[in-house]
Amino acid sequence: MSDAELTATLPHYPFSFRGDALAPALKQFLVHEPVTRVVTNAGHPGWLVTGYELARDALKDPRLSRSALSDPEMPQEDSGAPPLAVVGTMIMLRRAGLREEAVKGMSPRQQYVPLSRVRAIAEELLDEMTGRGTSGDLVEDFALPWAARVTCELLGLRPAVASEVSAWFGLMATGPIADRRLPTEWPASLDRLATWMDDLAETGLLPRLMQLNDVSPHPLPPVDMLEVAHMLTFSGLGNPAAFLAACVLALARDPKLANRLREQPDLMPLMVKEVYRWAPLLGDSITRIAMEDLVIGDVHVHAGELVMISTDAANHDPAVFAEPERLDIDRDAAPHLRFGHGRHYCPAAALNQLQTEAALDVLLARLPNLRLAAEPPVTWRDHHSVLMPVEVPVHW
Ligand code: HEM
């Protein structure tokens, strides 16, 4: 069978764009074929890992490389997407001796955007939304601008650019949308960021990294610093906005749960943790290249092959999470894999948890009768690397 014939017979990843239910195909693979062959948007075959333990082991397996993904000769998940910036930028930061400071700046120890500011931003946005009438959209009015403003303050970008940053969510595109938009819009966003880098705020992670870079024995050239800033801006916007949208959708749909959290705000950490597990967030997967032949589950993977890890599926493995489709904040669960595992584990995981808790706390207090509106029904943005509703229409 030729490569083209083989890929034509394979299931096409991703299988769904919904962030409130695991795709039926992923449910099937979890039970019957936890390592399975799929074809990607780029038309390349890859191995999809769905089982919890296999996914966790794959994430920490040093034979599965993330940096090899930047080699254009290797199989890819998407054709139009730019080479994964995140791949190179952490390596760049390490070379310049800046990695530790960057990681600290994404942790709860950072001082650039205290939780009181995170709450104040949420309050301002909800004031604006409620001031406009009796219904609103918690994506455009809340989740997206909240993530953009928090990220700008964390990084030291001027507040005036936050609405432009918010619109960059559309650049987290995959498949045909990426093919169409990214060749021009990705470089344009880099140019735009370059002008903002000339006028950073006095405090923030980027001004701090630039200061340290000036005295580094191996300083990053400006073009690399720009890549780092670009990657951090997209990381701060995309997942946090989509995740907050997933949380608010769950709360707007379940007034009983919302009331329980209003009465017992100390349960909020459990809520956020459970949504990390429950909500599918990946419009793409966590990808690696096998650096040598290896066995994953029952499957022989060859050196140079693409391995895709679905943490969404792993977080719904029925062998680990009873009734995985149920959002249950009382479950005594194994750790979710939302932030990865092993050496690339997300440095902003703990900070994002605290910030999301703060935003939701404000939301529940400010909208005591929060309800999902019947119209328009919730639909999802297709072909984006993180799963985000088009709108979360609510009234209060
Ligand atoms: C809901 C929020 C977030 C989620 C679900 C998330 C998820 C992830 C995941 C799964 C990884 C591992 C990727 C891999 O193994 O290839 C990762 C890595 C990373 N994330 Fe996050 N992230 C979030 C928020 C953030 C934020 C707010 C920032 C920064 C402002 C950030 C910066 C990074 C960086 C720099 C890495 C690369 C770490 C390394 O390779 O050492 N993330 N994130």
Asked if residue 261 has its Cβ within 6 Å of ligand 1, the reply is no
pLDDT on residue 86: 55
Model confidence band, residue 87 (pLDDT cutoffs 50, 70, 90): low
pLDDT on residue 6: 78
Reported as a single tens digit per residue, the pLDDT across 279-305 is 999 999 999 999 999 999 999 999 999
- Which among 139, 49, 45, 130 has a CA at the least distance from the CA of 366? 130
b/e burial code for range 241-255 (CB count within 10 A of at least 16 → b):
bbbbbbbbbbbbbee
Give the largest CA-CA distance in the chain: 62
pLDDT on residue 82: 61
User: Where in the sequence is the domain holding 181, given as residue range(s)?
Assistant: 3-395
Q: How far apart are CA 123 and CA 118, in angstroms?
A: 9
Reported as a single tens digit per residue, the pLDDT across 327-346 is 999 998 789 999 999 999 99
User: Which of 157, 168, 346, 353 for a ligand 1 pocket mutation test, highest count of atoms within 8 Å of Cβ?
Assistant: 346
pLDDT on residue 351: 98
Model confidence band, residue 230 (pLDDT cutoffs 50, 70, 90): very high
Residue with CA closest to ligand 1 atom 21? 346
Asked if residue 243 has its Cβ within 6 Å of ligand 1, the reply is yes
- Residues 305 and 3: beta-carbon distance below 8 Å: no
User: Which of 155, 235, 345 for a ligand 1 pocket mutation test, highest count of atoms within 8 Å of Cβ?
Assistant: 235
- Which among 72, 73, 90 has a CA at the least distance from the CA of 81? 72
What is the domain count for the chain? 1
Reported as a single tens digit per residue, the pLDDT across 232-251 is 999 999 999 999 999 999 99
Cα-to-centroid distance, 346 and ligand 1 (Å): 4
Q: What is the CATH number of the domain that holds 239?
A: 1.10.630.10
b/e burial code for range 103-113 (CB count within 10 A of at least 16 → b):
eebbeeebebb
- Write down the mean pLDDT value for the chain: 95
Nearest-atom number in ligand 1 for the CA of 154 is 30
Reported as a single tens digit per residue, the pLDDT across 92-150 is 999 999 999 999 999 999 999 999 999 999 999 999 999 999 999 999 999 999 999 99
Residue with CA closest to ligand 1 atom 29? 236
pLDDT on residue 330: 97
DSSP string, 261-298: HHH-GGGHHHHHHHHHHHS--BSS-EEEEESS-EEETT
Q: How far apart are CA 299 and CA 287, in angstroms?
A: 17
Asked if residue 206 has its Cβ within 6 Å of ligand 1, the reply is no
Q: Characterize the bridge pairing of strands 135-137 and 393-395.
A: antiparallel
Give the position of tokens 């949308």.
Answer: 177
